[in-house]
Amino acid sequence: MSLNRRAAILPAALLIIAACGGPGATQAPTQGPTQAATDAPTTAPTGATADCTVAVSWNNFQQPRWAAHDQPGIKDTVEAAGGTYIDADADLSNEQQITDVDTLISRGADVLILLAQDTTAILPAVDTANQEGIPIIAYDRLIEDPEVLYITFDNVAVGRAEAEAILEAVPEGNYVLIKGDPGDPNASTFLPQGWDEAGLKAKVDAGEITILNMSGDNWPEDAGTYTAAWATETAQDNMETIIDRAVAEDNTIDAILAENDSTAIGVVAALEAKSYGFPPLSGQDGDPANLNNVALGKQYVDVWKNARELGKAAGAAALALCEGQDMASLTMEEGLVDPSVAPDSLTAQDFETPGGNTVKSFILKPTPITRENLDLVLEGGWVTKDQLCQGVDTASAEAPEACK
């Protein structure tokens, strides 16, 4: 059965989703997660779809990406098919997220979409949902439970794209590695794996690259500095300390691999505070401020994850699971998400987790963005030209073509 079978009942609604949620659209950020169950649209079809309540537990809704792109993708997909969308924000608290899951279940959740603050701490809430027979979608962050459906971008490919771009710009020299939250497998496992696939460790082993913030001998655990909660301020503090140490030891920082955009913003702030200049720097997510930094030359590469498309995939999967569809036979309808990010297989695939579990998954594709292809985010409606080119001297020969 197609993930979008429910929505097929409403062809007009599907057309609205295609027109408003595709790569040419933008979505104004919401102010926060909904605090009460949203009533189903008056045009909702009768039957199972109208009875489906999809609940989302956000780990930290204050991070701009979730409100601007992911939530609209999920919410619009669910509501256009006649379902009900509810959510809650844990605001970086493991304890609050477990409480939130209990509350969402008590409010009638038929399917749970979990963006886990900590993928281990969330397991008691996962057990509760499993006991209630409520299907779970692990959204953007893996949860080590064989019963979940994992929907994310290819985070190994994200790390690989980050490192390939930086290694091409700086094939040898002194590197700084700024990682994300240690409780997130993306930060501790998948992104470093991508870095290594791009050749980072091979160059370290060959003596071509030195990691200035290597804290021990274990790779990749000791390579780089973690950033609790992916917090920009923490990344800035850590980077300022690294800069001070490098200057004191007469080392030059030649390149910086930051795992995501919020940490990259912190790195840029530290470089500016220390008047250090801007070595080639990576990031991911396609946040407007970071894409602007790419245009300004403060960030070298930003791996764009078209999160609206990820939300659409999760919303459609949740509707299918609400009907009782088995995860093993889920199939994404062709054209549901933009072809540029669609997974290689439209049928749910096995994903082998670091913890030895096998989960069903849909893995979407990321797109690396540099100054040379900034036009892609404009053509995709991801940001406006004013957002992208703020502060750029458009008359300069050095200005990116997308800003001229």
Kindly state the DSSP code that residue 281 receives in the 8-state scheme: B
From first to last of its 404 residues, the chain has per-residue pLDDT tens of 445 444 433 333 332 233 333 333 333 333 456 543 333 332 333 345 668 999 999 999 988 889 999 999 999 999 999 999 999 999 999 999 999 999 999 999 999 999 999 989 999 999 999 999 999 999 999 999 999 999 999 999 999 999 999 999 999 999 999 999 998 999 999 999 999 999 999 999 999 999 999 999 999 999 999 999 999 999 999 999 999 999 999 999 999 999 999 999 999 999 999 999 999 999 999 999 999 999 999 999 999 999 999 999 999 999 999 999 999 999 999 999 999 999 999 999 999 999 999 999 999 999 999 999 999 999 988 999 999 999 999 999 999 999 99
Give the C-alpha separation, 30 to 254, whole Å: 39
Give the C-alpha separation, 215 to 248, whole Å: 17
- Token look-up 């057309």 returns 15
pLDDT of residue 13: 34
Kindly state the DSSP code that residue 41 receives in the 8-state scheme: P
Q: Does the predicted model carry a pTM greater than 0.95?
A: no
Beta-carbon contacts of residue 389 (< 8 Å; ≥ 6 apart): 292, 295, 402, 403
pLDDT of residue 42: 29
Q: Is 114 helix (H, G, I), strand (E, B) or coil?
A: strand
HSE value, Cβ hemisphere, 13 Å, CA-based, for 253: 29
- Quick one: which of 162, 247, 178 has its CA closest to 214? 178
Question: Phi-psi category of 112—alpha, beta or left, where left has phi over 0 and alpha has psi -120 to 50?
Answer: beta
Kindly state the DSSP code that residue 5 receives in the 8-state scheme: T
194: its two tokens = 């991508």
Give the C-alpha separation, 238 to 246, whole Å: 12
Catalogue all structural domains in the chain, each as residue range(s) with its CATH number: 7-154+306-367 (3.40.50.2300), 156-304+369-388+396-403 (3.40.50.2300)
pLDDT of residue 32: 54
pLDDT of residue 65: 87
DSSP 56-72: EEES-TTSHHIIIIIHH
pLDDT of residue 27: 35
pLDDT of residue 64: 81
pLDDT of residue 62: 87
Cβ atoms of 176 and 253 closer than 8 Å:
yes
